[in-house]
Structure 1
């Protein structure tokens, strides 16, 4: 994870911010550039999904939304740590 954050930080997408409650910790925040990239990616994905499901009957669309939401929000077991 540290390597991913390091690379994103070098590219100006995130910044490490000291945690005021725990000096050992740092929070990772999106920079303005990072927010712009995240919003652009969200727009692209949303537009693509709309193209894929745009012609689906409204009732089927609602059912699909409920199913996908259930899949995404379902509790998952935490994988065991590797030795």
Structure 2
């Protein structure tokens, strides 16, 4: 089954947070790719990222994510 999910998209403080939390409650490890998220209210991005990190998920940079995918044998798109 699925053990890990990469979460990207908008809005960081709404959909990204909700999707990552839902994954966590389904025993799936959520990894939010920070540079691949955003919000229409920029002042809410950093607090949402911190909330995810402290509460239920990992937050990785795009570079870290791509490196991890390469190490797993998954090529860059």
RCO greater where, 1 or 2, for CA within 8 Å and sep 6 or more? 2
TM-score (norm 1): 0.23
Q: Which has the larger helix fraction?
A: 1
Greater C-alpha radius of gyration:
1
TM-score (norm 2): 0.25
Q: Which has the larger strand fraction?
A: 2
